[in-house]
Amino acid sequence: MMLHIPTLLIVAVFVFCLMGLLTVHAWSRGREPTLGYLGIMLLFASLGTGLIVVRGAGMDFVALIIGNLVLLLSAAMNWTAMRAFVHRGPNMPGIFAGCGLWLVMCLVPQFYNSLSARVMLYSLLAAAYGVLSALELWRKRASLEVAYAPALVLTLWHTGFYAIRAFLDPGLPLKSAQTSAGDGVPFFSFMLFESMLYAIGIAYVTLAMVKERAELRFKAAAFSDALTGAGNRRAFMQKGEQLLADSARRQQTVALLLCDLDNFKRLNDSFGHPMGDQALIAFSQVTRATLRKGDLFARIGGEEFACLLADSDEAVAFEVAERIRQAFAHLDLLAPGFLSVSIGIVSTDRAGYDLSHLLSQADQALYLAKAQGRNRVQRMATA
């Protein structure tokens, strides 16, 4: 089947333009930088491909110099989009390095007049930007928390294609481009198809990654306390029940700490609510620094916090609670005596693995701690 190269170029221009406009529209809805840079990449690809179309119309320098320069900017925007996705800013020297090298080389007559040399340099620069794009995802893979593999595979495929093209493609002579026959036509045709598929694929998977990360953020916000960053009551009840169920199967003891900041109303009345908020934040930081990674911590009320200590009995829980109490009392946030916490503790050895019952028993222990003078750790009373 004969492929008409000018027609393929026009189709590519429209595909790139359409995908670019749709991506920019998606960016306008949420102002996600990744989509903005990706939209620019696709629009640059459309413009660069469009400039290639004028080759042979008496303006070859437009196609050979400006067209390829715009296409290199497109590749740089792809890299920048991946940098934005992993929360890194644009690298301006890197963005314009490929264009600068291309312009300098085009000033050399031997290079400008050599089709194979131009193909090799352009392909190597495009592949270099592809490698940089893939590295951005790979380096941050542990913290992405989204399905990044499709984007990585697409980028590596696209990069590999241009790396191979640099050494295997002799280029498409002008006569072959006009007649769609001769050397270079099959490779050039495949390159256009590959580029269109990559544009559609990378736009889709990047949008999917952005959407998935947004959903994760909304979910995290629904299960966290906005002030302290600790889990909220919903998170504590849901995750706590799961922790208790797992511990019951393993026959491991779990301890519950119920913490309540002492005289919190007096603190707010004396120093204002902003200072009260600072006290809550400080207690949260002290507690999280004391707990282990597998322990569960949440703010379940105004000045009330709860901790579930996995694989811990009451003796261990008492030591942990004492460290929290003393660390909070010795903070220099306020004058001595203003910051203190009372903590009630109970374990599954004595109260079972039902979270509601554990909270009830710990609340009784907390009441005893308050009744006996506050600023203390209290075990559940023995029947």
pLDDT at 333: 76
Domain end point (choices 169, 195, 221)? 221
Task: At 273, list the tokens.
Answer: 């609510």
Strands (E), 87-222: none
Residue 285 belongs to some domain of the structure: yes
In a domain, 319, yes or no: yes
Does one domain contain both 207 and 282? no
What is the Cα–Cα distance from 127 to 161, expressed in whole angstroms?
8
Give the pLDDT score at 330: 87
Parallel/antiparallel/unpaired status of strands 255-261 and 296-299: unpaired
Quick one: tokens of 378?
């209290």
Reading the chain (383 residues) residue by residue, the pLDDT tens digits are: 456 777 888 889 999 999 999 999 999 988 899 999 999 999 999 999 988 877 655 566 777 889 899 999 999 999 999 999 999 999 999 999 999 999 999 999 999 888 889 889 999 999 999 999 999 999 998 888 899 999 999 999 999 999 998 888 777 665 555 555 555 567 777 888 899 999 999 999 999 999 999 888 888 888 888 899 888 999 999 999 999 999 999 999 999 999 999 988 888 888 888 888 999 999 999 999 999 988 999 999 889 999 999 999 999 999 999 999 999 988 887 766 678 999 999 999 888 999 999 999 999 999 999 999 889 999 886 54
In a domain, 189, yes or no: yes
| pTM, 2 dp | 0.74
Q: Are 192 and 328 contained in the same domain?
A: no
- Edge-first strand order for the sheet with 296-299 is 296-299, 304-309, 255-261, 341-347, 377-379
- Report which secondary-structure segment, H or E, holds 347: strand 341-347
Residues 198 and 122 in one domain: yes
Kindly state whether residue 184 falls inside one of the protein's structural domains. Answer: yes
H helices present in the chain, as ranges: 5-30, 33-53, 60-61, 68-85, 92-106, 109-112, 115-139, 141-144, 149-168, 174-179, 185-222, 233-250, 264-271, 273-290, 314-329, 348-351, 355-371
* b/e burial code for range 143-170 (CB count within 10 A of at least 16 → b): ebebebeebbebbbebbebbbebbeebe
The total domain count for the chain is 2
Whether 108 and 146 share a structural domain:
yes
Same domain, 317 and 183: no
Q: Which tokens is 215 given?
A: 């959903």
Q: Do the bridges between strand 377-379 and strand 341-347 make them parallel or antiparallel, or are there none, so unpaired?
A: parallel
Q: Which helix (H) or strand (E) holds 341?
A: strand 341-347
Angle among Cα 311, 315, 317 to the nearest 5 degrees reads 60
Could you tell me what percentage of the chain is helix, strand and coil, using 3-state DSSP and rounding each to the nearest 5?
70, 10, 25
**255 SS3 class:** strand
**Whole domain around residue 324: which residue ranges?**
233-379
Q: Would 87 be classed as within a structural domain?
A: yes
